[in-house]
Amino acid sequence: CSMDPASWSGLSGIHLHQGDDEKALPQLMELARIDQSSSDVAKKIAEIIRRKGNLNEAAYWYRQAIIINPFDTGQHEGLAATFTQASDYRAALREYDMLTKLEPTKAAYFESAAVAALKSGDRDAAQGFANRAVILNPASNIAKLLEPTTAP
């Protein structure tokens, strides 16, 4: 039986509201197949797949959402978190860097970028992001992360 996009959307919404990822995912996949212009559907698919632990496929769906709507910070946050979860800190840094450009007054993005830069081995970039975070939020604890360590 064939359903229209509104029906697929409603059905997936019910399952998501009930916290039933297993039932929501096939509905969302069908909706993504029917309507490839919804970044929200792609993002929901990515979130479910990420919760299941399939990080490569989750990253694919976050990228699809970003292609549709490159200015949605939630999609970049999800992709950055997925890369972080996969220990791909350079890729996470690219997303956090994009977030600092999309929302240049949000200290949390600069803090996350600093951590990703540090974990990817770029202490100078980490320092730059941390400095900006502290300017935006003087109460930020990120500066402590980058304090020089004394050699034993």
* Calpha distance 137→120 (Å, rounded): 24
The pLDDT tens digits for 121-149 are 999 999 999 999 999 999 999 978 777 65
pLDDT at 38: 83
**Residue whose token pair is 């299941």:** 52
**Residue whose token pair is 């992709």:** 79
The pLDDT tens digits for 48-89 are 999 999 999 999 999 999 999 999 999 999 999 999 999 999
pLDDT at 143: 79
Q: Taking each helix axis from N to C terminus, what angle separates 107-119 and 73-85, rounded to the nearest 10 degrees? A: 30
CA angle 66, 69, 72 (to 5 degrees): 80
Minimal CA–CA distance to 62: which of 129, 84, 148? 84
pLDDT at 83: 98
Cα-based distances in Å from 110 to 20, 37, 129 = 34, 30, 5
- pTM here? 0.81
Q: CB-based contacts of 78: which residues, under 8 Å, 6+ apart?
A: 43, 46, 47, 50, 58, 62, 65
Q: Which residue type is seen at 79?
A: L
Examine the pLDDT at 15 and tell me if it is beyond 50. no
**What percentage of the chain exceeds 70 in pLDDT?**
82
* Calpha distance 105→124 (Å, rounded): 21
Examine the pLDDT at 42 and tell me if it is beyond 70. yes
- Tell me the average pLDDT of the chain: 86
Examine the pLDDT at 16 and tell me if it is beyond 80. no
